């Protein structure tokens, strides 16, 4: 049995030494080896995955979509791409040097001075634009159209197929909702490990789902604690949340399902004399929160910027 394994390993090593890529399927030692002939470029995917997950992003953010040439190339590879979906070039997004018809990016081969064992690759950089218009969420599809290097045509998609030939970006509208907009945020930290804060920053909020009024996404319900000191000390990320309130009237602000990333949750602070609330006259959102794992407490205040 060991001899069989060594022979199989040697065979695979011989195959990987060729310029062709391949897929190896072991069916109880009834091996089926399918060669993928020729050079090709495709969107990057982990391992043997044949799909790549959509990128979720908001207007105003930048998205990098990675493409690669697994077989390598001895010369620069120019990759041309087109756009699909509901997003409009120049209104909802741009790419460097692009147009409504598409764009191109160049994969520069590793000259040997870079990181070892890294496949030659490049990023398609997509800038998502804000338009101050409530026009709903959009989708953008980036589709590889053609590619070439110094030797001529290079296939697009894994092995020249439709596999990994396109990638989708889901774009969230940051302008939808009756109280959507840019806010000044103050994070007053009452109890934590470091005597942190207060923090001050800006945050753009909008409906978490443009079709459901009253549910708004905020970046960090802890008012900056988890984005700053706790991120540095403990490696946690922002405690993003979907808060719910009636934008037409004074009333309570509620939320659920927010992890404090230490095994507990971020909840309404029961020790506060005032409940989290929205003031329809001033547009101020005030959140009194506590983290249950270790008892951090704070007040996060959102004041709309006119």
Q: Which regions of the chain are under pLDDT 70?
A: 1-37, 112-117
* Same domain membership, residue 47 and residue 26: no
pLDDT (0 to 100) of residue 104: 98
Range of the structural domain that residue 87 is part of:
40-172
> Is residue 215 located within the same domain as residue 240?
yes
Asked whether residue 52 falls in the same domain as residue 112, the answer is yes
Whether residues 167 and 235 fall in one domain: no
Q: Which of 172, 189, 214 is the last residue of a domain?
A: 172
DSSP-assigned letters across all residues of the chain: -HHHHHHHHHHHHHHHTSSSEEEEEEETTEEEEEEE-S-EEEE--STT-S--PPEEEETT-EEEEEEE-TT--SS-EEEEEEEEES--BTTTEE-TT-BTTBEEEEEPPP-SSS-TTPPPEEEEEEEEPP-SS----EEEEEEEEEEEETTEEEEESGGGSSTT-EEEEEEE-TT-STT-EEEEEEEEEEE-SS----EEEEEEEEESSTTSTTEEEES-TTTTTTTTHHHHHH------EEEE--TTS-EE-B----B-SSSSBEEE-TT-SS--EEETTTTEEEEEEEETTT--EEEEEEEE--
- Tell me, yes or no, whether 238 and 124 share the same domain: no
Which pLDDT does position 100 carry in this prediction?
96
Residues 139 and 158 grouped into a single domain: yes
Query: How many CB atoms are closer than 10 A to CB 42?
Result: 26
pLDDT score for 10: 41
198 and 222 belong to one structural domain: yes
Convert the pLDDT of each residue in 219-261 to its tens digit.
Answer: 999 999 999 999 999 999 999 999 999 999 999 999 999 999 9
Query: 139 and 196, same structural domain?
Result: no
Same domain, yes or no, for 132 and 189? no
- The number of distinct structural domains making up the chain is 3
Q: Which of 149, 172, 195 is the last residue of a domain?
A: 172
**Res 23: pLDDT:** 44
Per-residue pLDDT at 166: 97
Do 148 and 88 sit in the same domain of this protein?
yes
pTM: 0.62
Tokens of 58: 């908001």
Instruction: Kindly state whether residues 130 and 67 are assigned to the same domain.
Output: yes
Q: In the listed set 118, 151, 172, which residue is the last one of a domain according to the structure?
A: 172
Q: What is the pLDDT of residue 113?
A: 60
User: Do 30 and 44 reside in the same domain of the chain?
Assistant: no
Q: Can you give the pLDDT at residue 251?
A: 97
| The dihedral formed by the CA atoms of 14, 18, 23 and 26, expressed in degrees to the nearest 10 | -10
pLDDT, residue 190, reads 97
């Amino acid at each position: 049995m060991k001899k069989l394994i060594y022979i199989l390993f040697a065979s695979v090593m011989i195959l990987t030494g060729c310029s062709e890529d391949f897929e190896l399927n072991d069916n109880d030692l009834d091996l089926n080896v399918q060669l993928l002939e020729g050079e090709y470029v495709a969107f990057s995917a982990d391992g043997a995955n044949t799909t790549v997950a959509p990128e979720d992003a908001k207007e105003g953010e930048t998205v990098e979509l990675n493409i690669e040439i697994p077989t390598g190339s001895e010369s620069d590879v120019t990759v041309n791409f087109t756009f699909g979906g509901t997003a409009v070039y120049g209104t909802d997004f741009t790419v460097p040097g692009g147009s409504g018809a598409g764009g191109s990016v160049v994969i520069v081969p590793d000259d040997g001075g870079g990181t070892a064992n890294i496949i030659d690759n490049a990023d398609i950089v997509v800038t998502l634009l804000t338009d101050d218009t409530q026009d709903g969420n959009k989708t953008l599809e980036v589709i590889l159209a053609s590619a070439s290097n110094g030797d001529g045509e290079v296939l697009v998609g894994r092995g020249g197929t439709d596999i990994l030939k396109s990638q989708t970006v889901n774009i969230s509208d940051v302008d939808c909702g009756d109280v959507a907009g840019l806010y000044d945020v103050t994070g007053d930290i009452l109890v934590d490990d470091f005597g942190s804060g207060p923090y001050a920053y800006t945050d753009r909020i909008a409906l978490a789902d443009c079709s459901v009024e009253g549910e708004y996404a905020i970046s960090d319900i802890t008012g900056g604690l988890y984005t700053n000191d706790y991120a540095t000390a403990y490696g946690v990320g922002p405690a993003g949340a979907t808060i719910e309130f009636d934008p037409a009237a004074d009333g309570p602000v509620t939320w659920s399902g927010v992890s404090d990333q230490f095994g507990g949750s971020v909840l309404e602070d029961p020790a506060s004399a005032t409940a989290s609330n929205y003031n329809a006259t001033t547009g101020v959102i005030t959140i009194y929160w506590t983290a249950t794992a270790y008892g951090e407490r704070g007040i996060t205040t959102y004041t709309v910027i006119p």
